[in-house]
Amino acid sequence: MIAAETQRPATESPSNFCKGSESLKVLIVRTSALGDVAHTLPSLDALRSLFPEAKVHWIVEPLGAKLLEGHPSIDRIIVLPRQKWKRVFHNPLEWPAILGGIWRLSRSLRKERYDVVLDFHCNLRSAVILLLAGGRRRVGFHPSDIAERGGALLTTIRAAKAPPRLNKVEKNLLLVRALGYRAPCPCGTLPISEADRDWARALLARLPGSGPAVVIHPAVSKFGEIKRWPTGHFRELIDLLRSRHNAKTLITWGPGERDIATEVNRPTLLGEDVPLLRFAAILSQADLLISADTGALPIASLVGTPTVGLYGPKDAVVYSPYPVRGETLSSPAPCSPCKLRECEHRICMSLIRPDAVLKAAELALQGARVVPT
Mean pLDDT by 10 residues, the chain (373 residues): 36 49 88 96 97 97 96 97 85 88 95 98 95 96 91 93 97 98 96 97 98 97 91 98 98 95 96 96 98 97 96 96 92 94 89 98 82 52
Closest to 325 (Cα-Cα) out of 286, 274, 351: 286
Euclidean distance between CA atoms 18 and 20, whole angstroms: 7
Contacts of 350 (CB under 8 A, 6+ apart): 230, 233
pLDDT of the residue at 13: 47
If residue 60 lies in a helix (H) or strand (E), which one and from where to where?
Answer: strand 55-60
Fold (topology level) of 194-366: Rossmann fold (3.40.50)
| Sign for the pseudo-dihedral over CA of 240, 245, 248, 254 | negative
Strands 55-60 and 137-140: unpaired
pLDDT of the residue at 216: 98
Contacts of 7 (CB under 8 A, 6+ apart): 160
pLDDT of the residue at 92: 86
Domain residue extents for the chain: 14-177, 194-366
The pTM for the full model equals 0.91
Q: Decide if 14-177 and 194-366 have a common fold.
A: yes
Q: Decide if 133 contacts 109 (C-beta within 8 A).
A: yes
pLDDT of the residue at 350: 96
pLDDT of the residue at 318: 97
Q: Decide if 141 contacts 171 (C-beta within 8 A).
A: yes
Closest to 295 (Cα-Cα) out of 1, 74, 66: 66
pLDDT of the residue at 372: 54
Fold (topology level) of 14-177: Rossmann fold (3.40.50)
**Would residue 135 be called left, alpha or beta, if left means φ above 0 and alpha means ψ between -120 and 50 degrees?**
left
Euclidean distance between CA atoms 221 and 215, whole angstroms: 18
Closest to 212 (Cα-Cα) out of 249, 259, 253: 249
pLDDT of the residue at 87: 82
pLDDT of the residue at 48: 97
Q: What are phi and psi of 29, to 5 degrees?
A: -110, 100
Give yes or no for a cis peptide into 332 (omega within 30° of 0): no
